[in-house]
């Protein structure tokens, strides 16, 4: 079977790495991919906004299955487009993708189906702002309704800040939406929880702790994620059962009932407080960097799992995991998530040993004709290590990054600090 993986991040590199292990896979294309994916599969440069163009490539390369990494093509309806053309796609439909594409949609589902989540109000007119703000205690969470590449949420410490943020969204700060959601602030620990579902059956497919802030001890600006470890140590069997019964199962049921059956990866961003999980957000895909740690720990054949989702036979399979910890440390260009320089050569990357216990998954990297690798964006690569000790795993990941000669590399040395006791 020939597979096309859509995306260009370390998440997609990890998906290539894992799918390559499947015996049923003949050839993998990564569209558009990065320098890392070009080492293990073939990259194809295609404009992901142009589905007709992509279709021509899918036909000419005889691609049997598309696996979609990022949310934007899903929200734009890539699954519906290719299913209509009888090409298999792993990822939710356009309507089901509203779970991530519209926070208002997700909040309405939570309300209607009693899924625990933060209390909220919608605002779409300047005149409503003060009244709504007065209903909440500080800090107040202000969110834009549409996709905003992780920049659509602010936690406001004063009413004045909240009012300004709301007004700037209403005035069109984000192109995707002028609607605002004001939410109560949820205190507690964040967890990323993943399930795979065929619209009816589902299987948990791992948990992880992401580290979203740029600075050590979770300080500074929010990023796409600076590192993660798996499994999450916060989820006891009691909490796991609550997540499934109170959040995952009602959501899958709700989506079916609404006529938008959800198939693919469902990623719940949760806050746990006093052993009670609450839903902050849904994502319609694997997380990045969470995917890197999940793929290293996954023992079962990922293609078989995906096929069971497409054939609606998920209830007949068992997913096996390596019972060790996995950690990934993301190296970014210094200055990210604000201004940074690109095109810095990453020397010695080829010297790093890569095997089933340690991998460098690349993200924003490019290669020149001589095979030299350069940084090409904010998050550049992630060193991922599996080990029976989380601390040893982290030390090895840091050593891999320390050994790279690269002018403006930046990474946190404290990923997992809440559970690694020195
Ligand atoms: P989102 O884009 O919804 O994932 O939000 C981004 C980040 O903002 C989350 O990962 C949380 O750290 C934080 N956040 C969002 N909503 C809330 C909330 N209601 N209470 C506390 N933190 C939140
Ligand atoms: N790591 C967070 C995300 O992928 O959205």
Domain of residue 330, residue span:
325-421
Same-domain check for residues 310 and 228: yes
Ligand 2 neighbours, Cβ below 6 Å, are 210, 225, 283, 287-288, 290
386 within domain boundaries: yes
Same-domain check for residues 275 and 332: no
pLDDT digits (tens, 9 = 90+) for 327-383: 999 999 999 999 999 999 999 999 999 999 999 999 999 999 999 999 999 999 999
pLDDT digits (tens, 9 = 90+) for 406-421: 999 999 999 999 999 7
Residue nearest to atom 1 of ligand 1 (CA): 281
Contact 4, 29 (CB under 8 A): yes
19 within domain boundaries: yes
- Domain with residue 399: its CATH number is 3.90.600.10
**Last residue of one domain, picked from the residues 142, 165, 184:** 184
DSSP 243: I
Collect all residues with Cβ–Cβ distance below 8 Å to 162 and sequence separation of at least 6.
133, 140, 142, 156, 182
Kindly give the number of the ligand 2 atom that is closest to the alpha carbon of 225: 1
Same-domain check for residues 128 and 204: no
Backbone angles phi, psi at 309, to 5 degrees: -70, -45
101 within domain boundaries: no
74 within domain boundaries: yes
Q: Which of 110, 281, 290 to mutate to test the pocket of ligand 1 (most atoms within 8 A of CB)?
A: 281
218 within domain boundaries: yes
89 within domain boundaries: yes
Same-domain check for residues 133 and 83: no
Q: Is 185 in the pocket of ligand 1 (CB under 6 A)?
A: yes
Burial 68-105 (b: 16+ CB within 10 A, else e): bbbbbbbbbbbbbbbeeeebbbbbbbbbbbbbbbbbbb
Contact 401, 330 (CB under 8 A): no
Kindly give the number of the ligand 1 atom that is closest to the alpha carbon of 103: 3
- Domain with residue 242: its CATH number is 3.30.470.20
pLDDT digits (tens, 9 = 90+) for 284-306: 999 999 999 999 999 999 999 99
**Last residue of one domain, picked from the residues 316, 349, 377:** 316
**Last residue of one domain, picked from the residues 130, 157, 184:** 184
Contact 346, 403 (CB under 8 A): no
368 within domain boundaries: yes
**Closest residue by Cα to residue 12 from 410, 385, 388, 379:** 379
| Banded pLDDT at 147 (limits 50, 70, 90) | confident
Residue 310, both tokens: 């497409």
Average pLDDT, the chain: 95
Size of the chain, expressed as the number of residues it contains: 422
Residue nearest to atom 5 of ligand 2 (CA): 287
Helix-helix angle 249-257:103-112, to 10 degrees: 100
The domain total for the chain is 4
Please spell the DSSP secondary structure of 149-218, one letter per residue.
TT-SEEEESSHHHHHHHHHHHHTTSSTT---EEEEEPPPSEEEEEEEEESSS-EEEEEEEEE--EEETTT
């Amino acid at each position: 079977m020939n597979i096309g993986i859509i995306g260009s991040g370390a998440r997609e590199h990890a998906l290539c790495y894992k799918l390559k292990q499947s015996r049923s896979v003949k050839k993998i294309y990564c569209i558009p991919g990065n320098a890392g994916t070009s080492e293990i599969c073939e990259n194809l440069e295609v404009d992901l906004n142009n589905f007709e163009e992509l279709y021509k490539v899918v036909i000419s390369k005889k691609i049997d299955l598309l696996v979609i990494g990022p949310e934007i093509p899903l929200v734009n309806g890539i699954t519906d487009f290719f299913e209509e053309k009888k090409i298999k796609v792993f990822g939710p439909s356009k309507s089901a993708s509203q779970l991530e594409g519209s926070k208002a949609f997700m909040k309405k589902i939570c309300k209607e189906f009693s899924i625990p989540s933060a209390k909220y109000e919608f605002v779409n007119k300047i005149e409503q702002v003060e009244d709504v703000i007065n209903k909440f205690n500080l800090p107040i969470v202000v969110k834009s309704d549409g996709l905003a590449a992780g920049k659509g949420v602010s936690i406001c410490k004063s009413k004045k800040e909240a009012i300004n943020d709301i007004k700037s969204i209403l005035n069109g700060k984000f192109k995707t939406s002028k609607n605002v959601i004001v939410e109560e602030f949820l205190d507690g620990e964040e967890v990323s929880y993943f399930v795979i579902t065929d619209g009816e059956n589902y299987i948990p497919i791992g948990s992880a702790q992401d580290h979203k802030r740029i600075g050590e001890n979770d300080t500074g600006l929010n990023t796409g994620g600076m590192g993660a470890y798996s499994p999450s140590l916060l989820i006891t069997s009691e909490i796991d059962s609550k997540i499934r019964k109170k959040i995952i199962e009602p959501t899958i049921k709700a989506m079916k009932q609404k006529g938008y059956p959800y198939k693919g990866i469902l990623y719940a961003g949760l806050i746990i407080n006093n052993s009670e999980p609450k839903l902050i957000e849904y994502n319609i895909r694997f997380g990045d960097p969470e995917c890197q740690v999940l793929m290293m720990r996954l023992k079962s054949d990922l293609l078989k799992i995906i096929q069971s989702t497409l054939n609606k036979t998920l209830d007949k399979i068992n997913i096996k995991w390596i019972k060790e910890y996995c950690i990934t440390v993301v190296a970014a260009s210094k200055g990210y998530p604000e201004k940074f320089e690109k095109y810095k050569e990453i020397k010695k990357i080829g010297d790093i040993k890569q095997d089933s216990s340690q991998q460098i998954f690349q993200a924003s990297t490019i290669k020149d004709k001589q095979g030299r690798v350069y940084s090409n964006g904010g998050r550049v690569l992630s060193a991922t290590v599996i080990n029976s000790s989380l601390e040893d795993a982290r030390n090895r990941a840091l050593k891999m990054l320390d050994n790279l000669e690269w002018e403006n590399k930046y990474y946190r040395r404290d990923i997992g600090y809440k559970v690694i006791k020195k």
